[in-house]
Structure 1
């Protein structure tokens, strides 16, 4: 009984059904359940052993940053155009 892990707390989150279904499918390919993955992820976070994905360091973002810094950009509209587009979303 000394080796028994007591799980006496829960955590929850809400995601779309399609995201959940995709996650279950992809995790199953690796032989783990969604619950197992979440327990693992929360445990890693508790141990401060996490590496967050930084979208600003992706090859695409770095390429875009380089293009802007070197003036290699194409203007496709104004801020007013963006505002109008967002208003129609």
Structure 2
């Protein structure tokens, strides 16, 4: 049972993180999303909304990378320190 869970985990992990990072890529590169907030003078946490948009995108990318690192650590895909890769 545990082997079947571990064998299916890499595929589901690739799909989940692939979709997550693809959506962040769309958020960063597709003009309609950014242009929807670009002319706004509204403040979010004291920062103009267009700048907050980019900060939020960067934070979400960082959180995604951290979550992927944790997921790979849990599944045992990371090399131990001092071991050759």
> Shorter-chain-normalised TM-score: which range?
under 0.3
Higher Rg = 1
TM-score, normalised relative to structure 2: 0.27
Higher relative contact order, chain-length normalized (CA < 8 Å, sep 6+): 2
Q: Select the structure that is richer in helix.
A: 2
Q: Select the structure that is richer in strand.
A: 2
